[in-house]
Structure 1
C-alpha cells in the first residue's frame, strides 16, 4: 500500500482527469473544487481559496473537469450534465480510499462549476455535506436544485448584478439550509482589493460549520479498498 503524500498530483477516475490533492495534518474535511468555464485546476483564485482552507485543516482537491481537447468545444464547457457527472466520478474515485471515504466532503464551485457541483450533490445526497458557490451559475442546474439537500452558500459580488439576480432566483429553489452572501462592490471575478479575502472567510466559516471532523489523524493511504 502506497502512502498518500501531503501534496500529490493524481489521475482521477475512468477519464484520468488531472488533479492536485492536498492533505494537511489532522484533516477535518475534504473540499473538492469545480472550476468555471475557460478555467482549470490552475485557477489562481481557486488555488488561493484552497490554500486558506488547507490552513484551516481542510484537505482540498482541485481537478480538471475536462481534458484540453474536450475544453476546445464550447458545448462541453456549458454541458452541466457532463460536468456534473465528472464531479460525481471524482467523488466516487475518492471513496475508493477508505480514509478519504470517511472524511466529510464539501464542494466548492465557481461559475459553471457551481452548477456542476450542485448537480453532483443531487446525485450523491448522502455524501456531500456542504456546498459553496463563488460567482456561480446555479441557474444552469435549475431542474435539479430542489433535489440538493446539502447546506449551500451562494457568494456573489454586489456589482455582478445579472448573476446576483440569477442566484436570488436559485436560492428560492434550493430546498434546505441555504444562504446568499453578497460581497459589496465586487464583480464577477472578485478581483477588487479585499473581495476574495471576504469569499475565503465566508467559505471557511461555512465549511467549518458543516464539515464535522471525523479523522483519526492517521495519514490516508493511496491503495483502494
Structure 2
C-alpha cells in the first residue's frame, strides 16, 4: 500500500450532532467533486483505519469527496462488555447513518453532491438499510468484508446499485455476501472476491484492488 500523502492535513475535521452525541469525522471534498462517499463503520475505534484512509485518498484523486467516520463513539467502543451489542445494533447504526446523510444534505458544500455509502463489517448492513430509507438520495453502495446478511429485512427493497467486495479466505463471509446479493432484486449488483485475501485485506496488493473496484463503482454511479 502506498504511503498516504497529506490526507490528514487536507481533511477537515467535523463534528456531526446525532441526538445527544457527536460523531467525529474527516471530510474531504476535492475541487470539482460531483459525488461524496460516506464510510460507514461501527467499531468505536479511537483512530481511523489506515486502509480506509488509503481508499479515501484514492477516491479523492478521482474527484470523489469522502466522509470518514465511525458510527460508534469512542466511549461506546470502549465499553468492552457492551461493545458487541453496540457493534451489532444495526438499527442504531443505520439511524445514525441516515442522520449523517441528512447533515450532508443540509451543508452548502455537500448538498448538491451525489451520495454513496462504503460499508465495512456491520456498517455494511447499516448502509443497506439507510439506502433503502433514502432510496431517492443514495446513488450507490459498496462494501469491503461486510455483513450484508444482517440487513435481511431491507435487502429486497434496496434500489441503489450495490457492490460487495470480500476476501476469498473465509468461505463463511463469502457465503453471507452471496446470500445477501441473491436477495437484492435490482440488476445493478455485483460480488467481487479477492482470492487469497482475508477480510482485512492485509495481503500484498489486496487493499489496492479493493480501492480500484470500489472507486470504479462510485465513479460509474456518482460522477
Q: Which residue of 2 aligns with 1:12?
A: 16
Q: Which residue of 1 aligns with 2:6?
A: none
Q: Which residue of 2 aligns with 1:215?
A: none
Aligned to 1:129, the other structure's residue is in SS state strand
2:210 aligns with one of 199, 221, 225: 199
After superposition, the Cα gap between the structure-2 partners of 1:201 and 1:65, relative to the gap in structure 1 and judged at 3 Å, is same
Q: Distance in 2 between matches of 1:129 and 1:162?
A: 28
Deviations 1:111-133 (A, max 9, x none): 11111111111111111000111
**Pairs within 5 Å for 1:165-176:** 165-176=175-186
Aligned to 1:126, the other structure's residue is in SS state coil
Aligned to 2:136, the other structure's residue is in SS state coil
Q: Distance in 1 between matches of 2:58 and 2:134?
A: 26
Q: Which residue of 1 aligns with 2:3?
A: none
Aligned to 1:141, the other structure's residue is in SS state helix
Q: Distance in 2 between matches of 1:6 and 1:195?
A: 25
Q: Which residue of 2 aligns with 1:128?
A: 138
Report whether the alignment pairs 1:87 with 2:97. Answer: yes
Q: Distance in 2 between matches of 1:79 and 1:173?
A: 21
1:58 aligns with one of 61, 64, 79: 64
**Pairs within 5 Å for 1:111-150:** 111-150=121-160
Q: Distance in 2 between matches of 1:40 and 1:57?
A: 28
Aligned to 1:132, the other structure's residue is in SS state strand
Q: Which one is further off, 185-194 or 28-37?
A: 28-37
Count of aligned positions: 208
Q: Distance in 2 between matches of 1:156 and 1:64?
A: 20
After superposition, the Cα gap between the structure-2 partners of 1:145 and 1:41, relative to the gap in structure 1 and judged at 3 Å, is farther
Q: Which residue of 1 aligns with 2:4?
A: none
Deviations 1:57-99 (A, max 9, x none): 1110011211122222221111000001110010011111144
Higher RCO (Cα < 8 Å, 6 or more apart): 1
Q: Distance in 1 between matches of 2:102 and 2:113?
A: 13
Q: Which residue of 2 aligns with 1:33?
A: 39
Aligned to 2:103, the other structure's residue is in SS state helix
For structure 1, the residue ranges without an aligned partner over 5 or more in a row are 213-225
Q: Distance in 1 between matches of 2:114 and 2:30?
A: 14
Maintained 8 Å contact 1:19/1:41: no
